[in-house]
Structure 1
Amino acid sequence: MKLLALDGNSILNRSFYGIRLLTTKSGEYTNAIYGFLTVLNKLNEDVAPDAVAIAFDMHAPTFRHKEYDGYKAGRKGMPPELFAQMEPLKEILRAMGYTLVECEGFEADDILGTLAQAAKENGDTCVIATGDRDALQLVGDGVTVRLTATKQGRPEVTYYDEAKILEDYGVTPKQLIEIKALQGDTSDNIPGVAGIGPKTAGELIQRFGSVEAIYRDLDTLDVKPAVKKKLEAGKESAKLSRFLGEINTHAPIETKASAYVVGPGDKGAAARLLAKYELFSLIERLGLAGMDGSAPKEAEQAKEKALCLQEKDESATLAALQAGKAAYAAPVFDGDGNLTAAVASDGDNLFLLKESAQSLFTDPNIPVVCHDGKPIFKALKKKGATMENEKMDVMLAAYLLNPSASGYDMDRLAQEYAVPVPAVKASEPYEAAAKAAALLPGLSGALAEHIVENKQESLLTDIEQPLSEVLADMELIGFRVDVTGIEEFGDKLQKEIDTLQRDIYELVGYEFNLNSPKQLGEALFIKLGLPAKKKTKSGYSTSADVLEELAEEHPAVQKLLDYRHLAKLKSTYCDGLLKVVGENGRVNSTLNQTETRTGRISSTEPNLQNIPIRTELGREMRRFFLAKEGWVLVDADYSQIELRVLAHIARDKTMIEAFRSGTDIHTVTASQVFGVPQELVTPLMRSRAKAVNFGIVYGIGAFSLAKNIHVSRYEASQYIKNYLNTYSGVRDYMDRVVKQAKEDGFVETIFGRRRYLPELTSSNANLRAFGERVARNMPIQGAAADIIKIAMIRVSRRLREEELKARLILQVHDELIVEAPEDEAQKAARILKEEMEGAAQMDVKLSVDVNTGKTWYDAH
Structure 2
Amino acid sequence: MTRRLVLVDGSGFIFRAFHALPPMTRDDGTPVNAVFGFCNMLARLLKEHTGTHLAVIFDAGRTTFRNEIDPRYKAHRPEPPEELVPQFVLVREATRAFAVPAIELDGVEADDLIASYAEEMKKAGGEAVIISSDKDLMQLLDAHVSMLDPIKSTPIGPDEVVAKYGVTPEQMVDAQALMGDSVDNVPGVPGIGPKGAAQLIAEFGDLESILAAAASGTMKPSKRRESLVAYAEEARISRRLVELRRDVPLPVPIDELAIAPLHDGMLNDFLDAQGFKSIKARLGLDGVAKRNGERLAEAAGAADAPAPAAPAADAPFGPYVTIDSEAELDRWIAEIRHAGRFAIDTETTGLNPRHAKLVGISVATAPGRAAYVPLGHEDGPQLPRPLALERLAPVLADPSILKIFHNAKFDLHVLERAGLADATPVDDTMLMSYTLGAGRHGHGMDELSALHLDHRPISYDEVTGTGRSRVSFAAVPIDRATAYAAEDADVTLRLWLLLRPRLRTEAALALYETMERRLLSVLLGMERAGIMVDRADLESMSAEFARRMDDIQREIEKLAGRAFNPGSPKQLGEILFDEMGLPGGKRTKTGAWGTDATVLEELAASGHDLPVRVLEWRQLQKLKSTYADALVGEIDIADQRVHTSFSQAITTTGRLSSNEPNLQNIPIRTSEGARIRRAFIAAPGKALISADYSQIELRLLAHVADIPALKESFAKGEDIHARTAAEVFGLPMEGMDPMVRRRAKAINFGIIYGISAFGLARQLGIENSEAKRFIDAYFARYPEIRRYMNETAEFARTHGYVLTPFGRRCYVPGITEKNPARRGYAERQAINAPLQGGAADIIKRAMVRLPAAIRDAGLDAVMLLQVHDELVFEAPKDQAEATAKLACAVMQGAASLSVPLLVETGIGANWSDAH
Secondary structure of the 1:741 match is helix
Written as runs of structure 1 = structure 2, the 5 A alignment for 1:718-733 is 718-733=773-788
Written as runs of structure 1 = structure 2, the 5 A alignment for 1:264-283 is 266=293, 275-276=302-303
**Aligned pair partner of 2:525 in 459, 467, 473:** 473
Q: Which residue number in structure 1 is paired with residue 398 of structure 2?
A: 363
**Does the CA contact (< 8 Å) of 1:650 and 1:733 recur in 2?**
yes
Q: Which residue number in structure 1 is paired with residue 692 of structure 2?
A: 637
**Aligned pair partner of 1:694 in 749, 753, 767:** 749
**Does the CA contact (< 8 Å) of 1:92 and 1:273 recur in 2?**
no
**Aligned pair partner of 1:326 in 341, 344, 353:** 341
Look up the equivalent residue of 1:845 and give its one-letter code. P
Q: Distance in 2 between matches of 1:758 and 1:313?
A: 48
Written as runs of structure 1 = structure 2, the 5 A alignment for 1:328-347 is 328-333=343-348, 335=350, 336-337=355-356, 342-347=361-366
Secondary structure of the 1:678 match is coil
Secondary structure of the 2:815 match is helix
**Does the CA contact (< 8 Å) of 2:654 and 2:837 recur in 1?**
yes
Offset at 1:744? 2.0
Assess, with a 3 A threshold, how the Cα gap between structure 1 residues 121 and 597 changes in structure 2: closer, same or farther: closer
Q: Distance in 2 between matches of 1:422 and 1:559?
A: 49
- The answer to whether 1:461 aligns with 2:513 is yes
Offset at 1:528? 4.0
Assess, with a 3 A threshold, how the Cα gap between structure 1 residues 671 and 78 changes in structure 2: closer, same or farther: same
**Does the CA contact (< 8 Å) of 2:18 and 2:84 recur in 1?**
no
**Does the CA contact (< 8 Å) of 1:483 and 1:578 recur in 2?**
yes
Q: Which residue number in structure 2 is paired with residue 221 of structure 1?
A: none
**Aligned pair partner of 1:81 in 80, 83, 100:** 83
Q: Which residue number in structure 2 is paired with residue 175 of structure 1?
A: none
**Does the CA contact (< 8 Å) of 1:53 and 1:260 recur in 2?**
no
Offset at 1:506? 4.1
Counting matched residue pairs gives 709
Offset at 1:784? 0.6
Q: Which residue number in structure 1 is paired with residue 766 of structure 2?
A: 711
**Aligned pair partner of 1:578 in 616, 620, 632:** 632
Q: Distance in 2 between matches of 1:119 and 1:422?
A: 30
Written as runs of structure 1 = structure 2, the 5 A alignment for 1:163-178 is none
Q: Distance in 2 between matches of 1:297 and 1:381?
A: 33
Q: Which residue number in structure 2 is paired with residue 663 of structure 1?
A: 718
**Does the CA contact (< 8 Å) of 1:7 and 1:56 recur in 2?**
no
Assess, with a 3 A threshold, how the Cα gap between structure 1 residues 354 and 386 changes in structure 2: closer, same or farther: closer
Q: Which residue number in structure 1 is paired with residue 22 of structure 2?
A: 24
- The answer to whether 1:562 aligns with 2:616 is yes
**Aligned pair partner of 1:373 in 408, 416, 424:** 408
Offset at 1:531? 4.0
- The answer to whether 1:805 aligns with 2:860 is yes
TM-score with structure 1 length normalisation?
A: 0.71
1:121-153 CA-partner distances (Å, limit 9, x unpaired): 9997999x9xxxxxxxxxxxxxx99999xx999
1:664-710 CA-partner distances (Å, limit 9, x unpaired): 11111111111112125311111111111111111222222222222
TM-score with structure 2 length normalisation?
A: 0.67
Q: Distance in 1 between matches of 2:597 and 2:483?
A: 51
Offset at 1:582? 1.8
**Aligned pair partner of 2:875 in 816, 820, 826:** 820
Q: Which residue number in structure 2 is paired with residue 844 of structure 1?
A: 899
Offset at 1:262? 9.7
Look up the equivalent residue of 1:600 and give its one-letter code. R
Secondary structure of the 2:410 match is helix
1:149-180 CA-partner distances (Å, limit 9, x unpaired): xx999677689xxx99xx9xxxxxxxxxxxxx
Secondary structure of the 1:679 match is coil
**Does the CA contact (< 8 Å) of 2:320 and 2:370 recur in 1?**
no
For structure 2, list consecutive stretches of 5 or more residues without a partner in the other structure. 26-30, 42-52, 62-78, 133-172, 189-206, 212-246, 261-290, 374-387, 459-476
Q: Distance in 2 between matches of 1:515 and 1:96?
A: 55
1:731-782 CA-partner distances (Å, limit 9, x unpaired): 2221222222222222111222112234232222223222322221111111
Q: Which residue number in structure 2 is paired with residue 62 of structure 1?
A: none
Written as runs of structure 1 = structure 2, the 5 A alignment for 1:602-641 is 602-641=657-696
Written as runs of structure 1 = structure 2, the 5 A alignment for 1:762-801 is 762-801=817-856
Secondary structure of the 1:760 match is coil
Look up the equivalent residue of 1:329 and give its one-letter code. I
- The answer to whether 1:510 aligns with 2:562 is yes
1:41-91 CA-partner distances (Å, limit 9, x unpaired): xxxxxxxxx997624669xxxxxxxxxxxxxxxxxx997512343256447
Written as runs of structure 1 = structure 2, the 5 A alignment for 1:194-593 is 253-256=251-254, 266=293, 275-276=302-303, 301-302=315-316, 312=327, 321=336, 324-333=339-348, 335=350, 336-337=355-356, 342-347=361-366, 354-379=389-414, 382=417, 387=422, 389-404=424-439, 407-418=442-453, 431-531=483-583, 533-536=585-588, 537-551=590-604, 556-583=610-637, 584-593=639-648
- The answer to whether 1:652 aligns with 2:707 is yes
Assess, with a 3 A threshold, how the Cα gap between structure 1 residues 822 and 670 changes in structure 2: closer, same or farther: same
Single out whichever of 81-90 and 315-324 deviates more from structure 2: 315-324
Q: Distance in 2 between matches of 1:3 and 1:434?
A: 35
1:516-570 CA-partner distances (Å, limit 9, x unpaired): 2222233334444444543434333333344344447665444433322322222
Q: Distance in 2 between matches of 1:380 and 1:115?
A: 51
Secondary structure of the 1:609 match is coil
**Does the CA contact (< 8 Å) of 1:419 and 1:442 recur in 2?**
no
Offset at 1:346? 4.4
**Does the CA contact (< 8 Å) of 1:8 and 1:55 recur in 2?**
yes
**Does the CA contact (< 8 Å) of 2:650 and 2:656 recur in 1?**
yes
1:319-358 CA-partner distances (Å, limit 9, x unpaired): 7755654343334556534667644444486576532333
Offset at 1:600? 0.6
**Does the CA contact (< 8 Å) of 2:346 and 2:360 recur in 1?**
yes
Offset at 1:261? 8.7
**Does the CA contact (< 8 Å) of 2:690 and 2:873 recur in 1?**
yes
Secondary structure of the 1:761 match is coil
Q: Distance in 2 between matches of 1:823 and 1:559?
A: 46
Q: Distance in 1 between matches of 2:872 and 2:667?
A: 16
Offset at 1:253? 3.9
1:366-425 CA-partner distances (Å, limit 9, x unpaired): 2322222212432455589755632521110011223235543434323322388999x9
Secondary structure of the 1:540 match is coil
For structure 1, list consecutive stretches of 5 or more residues without a partner in the other structure. 39-49, 59-76, 130-143, 168-248, 279-292
**Does the CA contact (< 8 Å) of 1:26 and 1:745 recur in 2?**
no
Single out whichever of 774-783 and 435-444 deviates more from structure 2: 435-444
**Does the CA contact (< 8 Å) of 1:530 and 1:553 recur in 2?**
no
1:440-492 CA-partner distances (Å, limit 9, x unpaired): 44321210122112111111111111112111111121111111111112112
**Does the CA contact (< 8 Å) of 2:648 and 2:655 recur in 1?**
yes
Secondary structure of the 1:608 match is coil
Q: Which residue number in structure 2 is paired with residue 215 of structure 1?
A: none
Offset at 1:792? 1.2
Look up the equivalent residue of 2:523 and give its one-letter code. L
**Does the CA contact (< 8 Å) of 1:30 and 1:277 recur in 2?**
no
Look up the equivalent residue of 1:797 and give its one-letter code. A
Assess, with a 3 A threshold, how the Cα gap between structure 1 residues 819 and 602 changes in structure 2: closer, same or farther: same
Q: Distance in 2 between matches of 1:850 and 1:466?
A: 25
Offset at 1:622? 1.3
